[in-house]
Amino acid sequence: MLVAAMVTATSCGVDDAPEVREVGKEQVTAALNDAVQLGYPGAEAVIDDRGHSWRVTTGVGDLATGEPFAANARVRIGSNTKTFVATVVLQLVAEGEVELDAPVERYLPGVVHGPGIDGNRITIRNLLQHTSGLPEYAAEFGATPKPWQMEILSEQARWQTADMSAVLRTALTGPAAFEPGAKWAYSNTNYAIVGMVIERITGASVGAEITRRILEPLGLRDTYYPAPDETDMRGPHPIGYTEVSGRRTDYTSQNVSAAGAAGAMVASGADLNRFFTALLDGRLLPPAEMAEMQNVRAIGESGTMAYGLGLMRLSMPCAQDFWGHSGGISGSITYAGVVPATGRAVTIALNQDFTDEARSPAASRALTAAVCPAP
Contact 77, 347 (CB under 8 A): no
Strand ranges inside 217-320, DSSP E: 241-244, 247-250, 266-268, 297-299, 305-307, 312-315
| Residues recognised as catalytic | 79
Identity at 317, one-letter amino acid code: P
Task: Name the DSSP class of 78.
Answer: G
Of residues 57, 34, 61, 38, the one with CA closest to residue 47: 57
Give Cα 188 to chain centroid, integer Å.
Answer: 12
Pairing of strands 344-350, 42-49: antiparallel
Q: What is the CATH number of domain 8-371?
A: 3.40.710.10
Question: CA-CA distances (angstroms) from residue 75 to 44, 55, 272?
Answer: 10, 15, 11
Pairing of strands 74-76, 117-118: unpaired
Q: Specify the pLDDT at position 161.
A: 92
Assessment of whether the complete model's pTM goes beyond 0.85? yes
To the nearest 10°, report the CA torsion of 145, 307, 240, 162. Answer: 40
> What DSSP element (H or E) covers 260?
helix 260-263
Identity at 63, one-letter amino acid code: L
DSSP 91-113: HHHHTTS--TTSBGGGTSTTTSE
Angle made by CA atoms 39, 10, 268, in degrees to the nearest 5: 65
Per-residue tens of pLDDT for the chain, all 375 residues: 333 334 444 444 434 444 556 888 999 999 999 999 999 999 999 999 878 999 999 999 999 999 999 999 999 999 999 999 999 999 999 999 999 999 999 999 999 999 999 999 999 999 999 999 999 987 544 344 433 333 334 466 789 999 999 989 999 999 999 999 999 999 999 999 999 999 999 999 999 999 999 999 999 999 999 999 999 999 999 999 998 888 999 999 999 999 999 999 999 999 999 999 999 999 999 999 999 999 999 998 888 999 999 999 999 999 999 999 999 999 999 999 999 999 999 999 999 997 676 777 888 888 999 999 876
Contact 307, 292 (CB under 8 A): no
Q: Report d(CA 87, CA 80) in Å as an integer.
A: 12
To the nearest 10°, report the CA torsion of 153, 133, 188, 122. Answer: 130
3-class SS at 298? strand
